[in-house]
Structure 1
Amino acid sequence: MTAFEADFPGATVLPSPNHGERRDGQTPDMIILHYTGMPTAEAALGWLRNVESEVSSHYFVDEAGVISQLVPEERRAWHAGKSLWAGRTDINSCSIGIEIANPGHPGGLPDFPERQIAAVVELCRNCVERWQIAPERVLGHSDIAPVRKVDPGENFPWNKLHDSGVGHWVEPSSITGGRFFQRGDEGQPVEALQSMLSFYGYGIEITGRFCEKTEGVVAAFQRHFRPALVDGIADFSTIDTLHRLLTSLPRYTS
């Protein structure tokens, strides 16, 4: 493991051997946030630096807000796995991966400490500024790998990041009654929902059938943007929140 100079001034360098060249000359235009999903920060950090794990991230943020850099930003860290966003499949080559120490769903999904989130905000703001990353391209692992991944989880405070200038967010619509779509439904309204999710960036086929994959993508969307209820059912709150996110995108109105 070769030492290098930190890209983020506040980071301690703890090199990981798990990285490679970014492919096709790509540079970071996304930030992907993860939780570690392991019982302790020490175990997670050790795993990310173990050559046998074949996983890594550019940064690691512990519960106290201490930031470590494991892989230089110019290199391709191995954090996204099989994933898709806006038609791109090699997310590792175009992203910065940030692992946040938290036991996640296996550990009861505890809250993220305020000082840890403050450190994540500071790190993200620095990366966004240096790489000119668009707000809507600051995402969770669950966004780019629905069904397969659920981190950083529905307890992650995306709204706090947005209030600090990081990420894309609108206040979720209230959960009320009314018409909804769920697995087994078919027709033009389902096709329209799939089209909206695809336009935002989610990897979903537009078939007009509310299949298991569609349910998983809806749940991933809810986990990020409507976390009060993550059930994979496209109710009014989910669809309206998605519509307002879309209409606030520059590419939607241009």
Structure 2
Amino acid sequence: MKIRTRLLALASAFFLAACATPSHQIDRTHVSENQDSRVQFLILHYTAIDFDKSLKVLTTGGKVSAHYLVSDNPVKTYQLVDENRRSWHAGVSYWAGATNLNAASIGIEIVNPGFVDTPAGRVYAGYPQQQVDEVIHLVREIAARHRIRPDRILGHNDIAPGRKQDPGPAFPWKQLADAGLIPWPDPALLEIRRTVFQVVPLPDIAWFQQKLAQVGYQTPQTGILDTATREVLATFQMKYRPTNCAGDPDGDTAALLDVVTTPGGMITLQASPATTDNRSPY
């Protein structure tokens, strides 16, 4: 009986050891040069609620998430989702032919109350400078890590115009441009185009729609100034002319669109020492 028990124990141990041994081995000594990060886009959002509510919604049963959350007071960056995993932040989305950007993007939520509608019109909340500095630092780190193209650092409204407004016209995109993170219209060329559009007839709606689609927006191509076209125009204006983003197809917007879609019309600055900080990684 003792011999039988020992034989059974030995057989069990052998079986368990066999199960623990991989059925095959993979040679990982050859690494292809033909690859890049799955992360192709970086999307900025505002939460429209305070920090405590934002953290709860983004980490529990709210059906939404983001890779990072940047608080406002005190300013601090929280990582909520590993960059190698998909967070649920973009939803139905489109940019320059790419769709459903959750699978190819990193999302940053910025704590900000968003907007309130008043009798005088919609009013958007500003961003504290320290929070903007934190976002710039975070964007620089992520973009460098994944080699994200500057023209693919976008707002939620860019990839879902009309459906989303964040990060809104109060977000200082120009500071990201000054930090060398995103391209910006060449000011000299823009001044020339503005002068031109002061004297020539305003292009038709089909021209505006074609230019907006060329930028990357999902835009109707009907030649009609419908609600969807106005929403895309307003989104474009939020970034490049935030003081007037009513969605009107005026000469100043035409000049901006002309420069943005002209080869060489968008310039990306080299980050200066003033825009590069030496803080420890988040």
Name 1:159's counterpart in structure 2: 174
Q: Percent identity?
A: 38
Structure 1 residues 26 and 134: CA distance shift in structure 2, 3 A: closer
Three-state SS of the structure 2 residue aligned to 1:192 is helix
- Are 1:245 and 2:260 matched, yes or no? yes
Task: Give the secondary-structure state (helix, strand or coil) at the position aligned to 2:98.
Answer: coil
Which amino acid in structure 1 is aligned with residue 80 of structure 2?
A: L
Q: Is residue 69 from structure 1 mapped to residue 85 from structure 2 by the alignment?
A: no
Partner of 1:219: 234
Deviation at 1:109, TM superposition (A): 2.4
Corresponding residue number in structure 1 for 2:115: 105
Amino acid of the residue matched to residue 78 of structure 1? W
Determine the C-alpha separation between the residues in 2 that align with 1:197 and 1:169: 16
Residue 247 of structure 1 aligns to a residue whose secondary structure is coil
For the 8 Å contact 2:69–2:77, the answer to whether it is kept is yes
Answer yes or no: is the 8 Å Cα contact 1:26–1:93 preserved in 2.
Answer: no
Match of 1:114 in 2: 129
Alignment equivalent of 2:69, drawn from 60, 68, 86: 60
Does 2:93 correspond to 1:96? no
Structure 1 runs of 4+ aligned residues shifted over 2 Å read 106-110, 170-181, 248-251
CA offset digits 1:60-118 (Å, max 9, x no partner): 00113311111111111101111111122211111110000000114952221111111
Indicate the SS of the match to 2:63. coil
| Counterpart mapping for 1:113-152 below 5 A | 113-152=128-167
How many residues align? The count is 219
| Structure 1 gaps, min length 5 | 1-24, 182-187
- TM-score, normalising length from structure 1? 0.79
Determine the C-alpha separation between the residues in 2 that align with 1:237 and 1:158: 18
Distance 1:49 1:224 in 2: 29
What secondary structure does 2:69 align onto? strand
Residue pair 1:65, 1:117 contacting (<8 A) in 2 also: no
Displacement of 1:246 in angstroms is: 1.8
2:46 is aligned to 35
Tell whether 2:54 aligns with 1:44: yes
Match of 2:94 among 84, 96, 112: 84
Structure 1 or 2: larger helix share? 2
* Counterpart contact for 1:37–1:101, Cα < 8 Å: yes
The higher radius of gyration belongs to 2
CA contact (8 A) 1:178 1:236 kept: no
The offset of 1:49, in angstroms, is 0.5
In the alignment, which residue of structure 2 is the partner of 1:229? Answer: 244
On the 8 A contact 1:141/1:151 being kept in 2, the answer is yes
CA RMSD of aligned residues (A): 2.5
